[in-house]
Structures are given as C-alpha cells and as structure tokens.
Amino acid sequence: MAGTTVGTIVSNVIVELSQVPGVATQIYSAGRIRQHVQDAYQMEIDELWWPRYMVWQTVPVDQLTGLLTADIQGPISFVDDYENIRAVFPSGSSRQLPEFPLGLNPFSVTGGSRLYVTPDYTVPHRPFKVLPVGSATNVVVHARQDTAMPFSDTTTVYIDSLLLQYDAAWMYCVDDGTVPAQVNKFQMLAAKRRKRIIAALAQQPLLLDPRFPTGVDTLVDDNPFFVLDSDVLA
C-alpha cells in the first residue's frame, strides 16, 4: 500500500512557499507546516471514503449481547469510532443494516424483527452492536481506518499528497497574511484538486438494479451499469 510521508509533504510545502528547501533549514516553519498537514488530514479524511483507508472484515456477533466478539482492524489501524463505519451487512447478504432509530425503544425490539446497528463503546475497537440481541451471528463491516496522531516526519498518510500539500500551504499563507494573491492561489489549487479527486472516485460503474449483479445472465446485451461520462444521459 503506497503512501507519502509527512516529512515529504512538509518539504514540498516549503518549496511551494519559496522558502529555502529542507526541513532542517526551516526550524521555525517546519513545525508549523507539519501541524498544518495534520489539520489538513483531519479535514480531508472525513470528506471522502478514501479507498486506501477502507477495510472489509467479517466480525462475529455475541448472541447474548449483540456486541462484536472481535476487533475491527486493518493494516493501518484499529477502527474505534462509529463515524468510521461506512456499512454493515448480515453475513451472506448485500442488504445494508440501517441505524437504529432514535424514536424506538431498544428493549422493545425482539428476535424476528429486522436487524439494526447502533453505536456502542463497551469494548475498544468495536464501536457498534447489533439489535435485536440474538438475531445475528456474523456481520460484514466496511470501515475506515485512521492514521495515528500527532504526526511526525516519518508518519505515512494515504490521502492524496498534493491535496494535503495545497491545504497546508494555504493555511500557512493565511497565517502569514503578507501576499493575498498567494492565499487565493493555494485555496483555488486545493479546491480544484479536491474536485478532481471526487470526480475520479465517482467514475466507477454504478449498479442500477442489485437484483442483477455482474455475471448474472439477464437479457442479451443487457448492461445493468450506468457509467458517468460514457452514457448518453451522463
């Protein structure tokens, strides 16, 4: 899994700002820029479900409590926050479990009802439980990992490095406030780069009818996918 070190991004930002290259020569600004890179990461990580941060995992469920019996963990980190859970499916099903409604009494939901997920932090690295209790044995989880903070120069991040570079440069220029045109430049570059990444991630085929997934014979020359920028109506 390829990534970029924070030190590399900091060095690139120093060059972008027309400072003398090298983290070691920029004793004052390097620390500030590293903090800006960390701030940029925290802003951008929640904007998209970044593919390199996502992990699929089958997790057993305790029949007596509805709690998970295994940690959710990928090659980058454990998953600790409910907000980082993108989807939960019953094992063997493609129907996503909904979040438990706030208007329902969880103790009134019994076996035989439809399944729900709800936040639960009883056990670290297992940020949700399944309701009603006793209804699920395994679930398949699609979740987002997270890079540990605080960042150091050797920390590796998997968000687009150019986007973080432009974000950090913009933050530094705003604080400096000496060249308004430079502030606008990096703000525009960051916005353009973010838009480009979002568009690129949206180019995957979209399944119109989940009843007929790829590989299932339907009609002759039938294509159940709609591809952006390729179909007439896109």
For residue range 114-143, list pLDDT tens digits in order: 899 999 999 999 999 999 988 878 999 999
pLDDT band at residue 234 using 50, 70 and 90 as cut-offs: very low
| DSSP letter string, the chain | ---EEHHHHHHHHHHHTTPPS-TTT-HHHHHHHHHHHHHHHHHHHTTS--GGGEEEEEEEB-TTT-BBSS--B-SS-B---GGGEEEEEETT--SPPPBPPTTS-GGG--TTSPPEEEE--SSTT--EEEESTTS-SEEEEEEE----SS--TT-EE-S-HHHHHHHHHHHHHHHH-S-HHHHHHHHHHHHHHHHHHHHHHTTSPEES-TTS-TT---STT---EE-TTTSTT-
pLDDT of residue 175: 82
Q: pTM for this one? A: 0.80
User: What is the predicted pLDDT for the residue at 23?
Assistant: 54
**Inter-residue contact 179 to 173 (CB < 8 Å):** yes
Interacting residues of 84 by C-beta distance below 8 A, sequence separation 6+:
127, 143, 144, 145, 146
**Is residue 85 a contact partner of residue 143, using CB atoms and an 8 Å limit?**
yes
pLDDT band per the 50, 70, 90 thresholds, residue 219: very low
Q: Are 151 and 38 in contact (CB under 8 A)?
A: yes
User: What is the Cα–Cα distance from 13 to 140, expressed in whole angstroms?
Assistant: 40
Count other C-beta atoms under 10 Å from residue 59's C-beta. 20
Domain ranges in the chain are 4-48+159-201, 54-144, 205-234
Q: Which residue has the tokens 């003398």?
A: 20
Q: What is the pLDDT of residues 138-185, one digit of tens each?
A: 999 999 999 999 999 999 999 999 999 999 999 998 887 677 888 999
Residue 21, preceding peptide bond in cis (omega within 30° of 0):
no
pLDDT tens for residues 76-85? 999 999 999 9
